[in-house]
């Protein structure tokens, strides 16, 4: 199993159990969308918190047809550089049962990825969303109903997932395509950048809800 996506990275260095909250980003090859989402999530958390090891959050990624051991695509690295995010040390992984079992929140690029994760079992349905679906649900949650940060970010994160799951049947996507992040694999850099902007915009309200802090100006 690769070590570049969270086990030897930021947000806990392989911490497990009640003291951590594990976010798993899933796409197809784990060389474009999910690496961008993983590293932008880490970057946004560090921006909000200052100390990237604070809070017990572990952020990683894998692919349903993951290119095990592969580096991320060069254009994905370029997108991360645009945001000032760290692309170093990344190693692609194929999605395994253990990744789903350990994840507290699974965010996928598309509805097909979501269906594949849920089909693996492990009671994943209530904690698996497409990224854009989760963003839409989080926007509808009153942050004052979440546990205060004094109770710890792990408790707040778990409450956020429960609240989002409760809203899912009431807050549907306006169109089927609204919950999709399309695959830029093989596309030129401008398309990668548009996907990076799309992912970054979707992550912003999620990270704000988790941390209680907006992005720095």
Q: What is the rounded (10 degree) CA torsion for 12, 104, 96, 15? A: 20
**Mean pLDDT of the region 63-78:** 95
Query: Distances in Å between the alpha carbon of 194 and those of 92, 115, 199?
Result: 22, 25, 9
DSSP letter for 171, please: S
Higher pLDDT, 52 or 150: 150
The answer to whether residue 11 scores a pLDDT higher than 60 is no
Determine the pLDDT at residue 132: 97
Distance separating alpha carbons of residues 134 and 117, to the nearest angstrom:
15
Query: Distances in Å between the alpha carbon of 82 and those of 45, 66, 155?
Result: 17, 25, 32
Q: Which of 1, 8, 67 lies closest to 33 in space, CA to CA? A: 67
Query: Distances in Å between the alpha carbon of 139 and those of 136, 163, 202, 205, 207?
Result: 5, 11, 10, 7, 11
Domains annotated for the chain, with CATH where assigned, are: 21-210 (3.40.50.2300)
| φ, ψ at 25 (rounded to 5°) | -100, 135
pLDDT band at 33 (very low <50, low <70, confident <90, very high): very high
64-98 in b/e form (b: 16+ CB < 10 A) is bebbeebbbbebbbebbeebebbbeebbbbbbeee
Determine the pLDDT at residue 131: 98
Distance separating alpha carbons of residues 27 and 125, to the nearest angstrom:
17
The answer to whether residue 80 scores a pLDDT higher than 80 is yes
Determine the pLDDT at residue 171: 81
Distance separating alpha carbons of residues 212 and 166, to the nearest angstrom:
21
**Mean pLDDT of the region 155-159:** 95
DSSP letter for 94, please: B
Determine the pLDDT at residue 8: 28
Average pLDDT in the chain? 89
Tens-place pLDDT, residues 161-185: 999 999 998 888 888 889 999 999 9
Determine the pLDDT at residue 2: 36
- Does the predicted TM-score (pTM) go above 0.85? yes
- What are the residues facing 63 on neighbouring strands? 27, 94
The answer to whether residue 79 scores a pLDDT higher than 90 is yes
Determine the pLDDT at residue 52: 52
Tens-place pLDDT, residues 50-63: 765 567 899 999 99
Determine the pLDDT at residue 176: 81
Q: What is the rounded (10 degree) CA torsion for 94, 158, 134, 191? A: -50
The fraction of the chain above a pLDDT of 90, given in percent, is 75
Instruction: Give the list of residues 6+ apart from residue 159 with CB closer than 8 angstroms, or none.
Output: 146, 147
């Amino acid at each position: 199993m690769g070590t570049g996506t969270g086990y030897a990275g930021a947000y806990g260095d392989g911490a497990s159990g009640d003291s951590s909250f594990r976010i798993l980003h899933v796409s197809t090859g784990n060389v474009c969308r999910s690496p961008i989402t993983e590293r932008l999530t880490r970057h946004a958390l560090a921006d909000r918190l200052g100390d990237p090891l604070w809070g017990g959050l572990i952020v990683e990624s894998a692919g349903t047809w993951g290119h095990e051991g592969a580096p991320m695509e060069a254009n994905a690295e370029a997108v991360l550089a645009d945001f000032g995010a760290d692309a170093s040390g990344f190693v692609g992984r194929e999605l395994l049962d253990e990744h789903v079992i350990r994840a507290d929140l699974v965010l996928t690029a598309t509805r097909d990825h979501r269906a594949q994760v849920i089909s693996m079992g492990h009671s994943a349905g209530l904690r698996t969303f497409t990224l854009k679906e989760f963003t839409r649900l989080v926007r509808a949650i009153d942050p004052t109903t979440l546990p205060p940060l004094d109770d710890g970010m792990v408790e707040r994160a778990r409450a956020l997932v429960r609240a989002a799951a409760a809203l899912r049947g009431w807050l549907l996507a306006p169109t089927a395509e609204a919950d999709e992040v399309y695959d830029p694999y093989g596309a030129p850099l401008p398309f990668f950048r548009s996907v990076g902007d799309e992912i970054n915009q979707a992550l912003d309200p999620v990270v704000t809800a988790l941390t209680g802090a907006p992005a720095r100006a």
